[in-house]
Amino acid sequence: QVQLVESGGGSVQEGGSLRLSCAASGYSRSTFCMGWFHQAPGKEREGIATINAWGYINYADSVKGRFTISKDNAKNTLYLQMNSLKPEDTAMYYCAARDSDYCRSLVAPDYNYWGQGTQVTVSS
């Protein structure tokens, strides 16, 4: 059973940085895609960045150049380094995974497994 547990959210000023972590277990490392999504109140859950076992990475245009996704296979942990944060980045952030190494999708229904989320709040 795949389990995903996020941590690292919090409140920061505009222009600040945060690093989110997602501890993962129960998945097959050779055939997976993992990613980060966010959801603001009243809005749909949106994909931010994805990464697969082969190192393929995909970013949403809104975070390119500001956010970096990475993984530590030894620790079974996924990270999202968020720099130059903006108030519009305020949302609940979720770690997600799917039983496929196809990682171009940033569409939430394409992902099978979800963490409980961690809140990120950016104030101006």
Q: Residue 50's CB: how many other CB atoms inside 10 A?
A: 27
Which pLDDT score is estimated for 40?
96
Which is it for the CA torsion 102, 106, 112, 116, positive or negative? positive
Query: pLDDT, tens digit, for every residue of 96-119?
Result: 999 888 999 999 999 999 999 999
Residue 45: DSSP 8-state: -
Query: pLDDT, tens digit, for every residue of 53-96?
Result: 889 999 999 999 999 999 998 899 999 999 999 999 999 999 99
The residues, any chain, with a CB within 8 Å of residue 9's CB and separated by 6 or more, are: 18, 20, 93, 118, 119, 120
Diameter of the chain measured on Cα atoms: 42
Query: pLDDT, tens digit, for every residue of 40-51?
Result: 999 999 999 999
User: Is the per-residue pLDDT at 23 higher than 80?
Assistant: yes
Which pLDDT score is estimated for 30?
65
Q: Residue 35's CB: how many other CB atoms inside 10 A?
A: 29
